[in-house]
Structure 1
Amino acid sequence: MRTAGGSEELLKRIGGAIAAARKRAGLTQSVVANAVGVEIQTISRLETGTISPTVHRLSQFAELFDCPIGSLFGEHRAAAGEDARSLSLLIADLPREDRRVILRIVSDAASLARAKDERQYREAAIERRELLEATGGDKGKKRRAKRL
C-alpha cells in the first residue's frame, strides 16, 4: 500500500522503528518474515517505508519483538521499566566489569540530566522573580518581609 505526500515521512519513521525493534529483539529479517508469513522483501520494504504496515501486521511485530505497539510508530516514550529492560538486554552478554562501566556511564549521564533540569528550573524561577520585580508585582511581598 503506497501513500503520497507527508505520509512518506511517517512511513519512514514507522519503518525505522520496526527495524530498530527487530534488531533490539535480535531477529533477522528472514526470521521475522517466516514468523509472520511474508516474503523477506516485504519486511525490507516495510522497514524502509516503501510500503505501509497494516494494524494487524504491527500487532504481530509488537508481539514478536515484545514491545508496545505504540513504539512501532517511532516516537514512543517507554516507561522507565521498559527502558531498564532494554538496557539490560543490550548489556546482558557483556563481561561483568564492562557492564559496571556502562552502568557508571549511565549513572553519570542521568546525574547530568537531573542537574540540567534543576538548573533550568532555577533559571526560570530567577527570570520570574526578576519579571515580578520589574513590573512591581512583588511589592506586597517586600513590605511583608520588612515587617517580619
Structure 2
Amino acid sequence: MPIRPTPPTDEAQDALLAARVGTAIAEQRRARGLTQAKLAEMIDLEQEAVSRWERGTRVPTLHRLQQLSDALECSVDHLLQRGSTRPDDQLANVANALSGLDADERTLVVDFVQQFTDMLKAKHAARTPRRE
C-alpha cells in the first residue's frame, strides 16, 4: 500500500505564500523602476516594511495589498496569483511572463514548456502501476 505524503502545515503554506507574494511585489516594483524606499513613500510606510514583505518574512494586510496594487498599477489578484497553486492562476502567470516577448521568443518558450510537460507526464506515467 502506497504511503501518502504528509500535507504541509498551515504555517509552512503561509510561509510559502508569503515568499511568493513577496516575489510578486518585488517583480512589480522593479518593473515600474521603483526602489523599496519610493514604494514605501507612495503608501506612507517605512522602507523596512516593504523589504520584509519582499523577503517573505511578513505579509501585507488586505488594506496594504490594495495600496500596493494601486501604487504598482496591478490588481490584488496579480499579487496573490504568484502564490497560487490553481492551474488557472499559474496559467495567468505564464501568460504574463510571455508578454513583452516577440512572436519567435513566445514560440520558443511555448515549445519548451510543451516538451518539458510531455517529459514529466511520461515520467509520471512510467511510475504509475497499471491496473488490469
Where do 1:113-128 residues align within 5 Å? 113-121=120-128, 123=129, 125=130
2:106 maps to 1:103: no
Higher helix share: 1
2:84 maps to 1:76: yes
Q: Number of matched residues?
A: 118
Secondary structure of 1:93's counterpart equals coil
- Tell me by how many angstroms 1:96 deviates: 1.7
Residue of structure 1 in register with 2:44 after alignment:
37
- Tell me by how many angstroms 1:42 deviates: 1.5
Take 2:78 and 2:93, find their aligned partners in 1: how far apart are those partners? 15
Contact preservation (8 Å) 2:19, 2:54 = yes
Over the matched positions of the two proteins, sequence identity in percent amounts to: 19
Contact preservation (8 Å) 2:40, 2:50 = yes
Residue of structure 2 in register with 1:88 after alignment:
95
Take 1:54 and 1:91, find their aligned partners in 2: how far apart are those partners? 30
Structure number with greater Rg is 1
Task: Give unpaired runs (5+ residues) of structure 1.
Answer: 1-7, 130-148
Q: TM-score, normalised by structure 2?
A: 0.60
Take 2:92 and 2:112, find their aligned partners in 1: how far apart are those partners? 17
Residue of structure 2 in register with 1:66 after alignment:
75
> Relative to structure 1, is the Cα distance of residues 100 and 33 closer, same or farther in structure 2, using a 3 angstrom cutoff?
same
Take 1:68 and 1:37, find their aligned partners in 2: how far apart are those partners? 22
Task: Give unpaired runs (5+ residues) of structure 2.
Answer: 1-10
Secondary structure of 1:16's counterpart equals helix
Q: Which amino acid aligns with 2:46?
A: E
User: Which sits farther off after the overlay, 106-115 or 17-26?
Assistant: 17-26
Q: Which amino acid aligns with 1:76?
A: S
Take 1:9 and 1:83, find their aligned partners in 2: how far apart are those partners? 20
Contact preservation (8 Å) 2:21, 2:83 = no
- Tell me by how many angstroms 1:112 deviates: 1.4
RMSD of aligned Cα (Å): 3.7
Contact preservation (8 Å) 1:45, 1:51 = yes
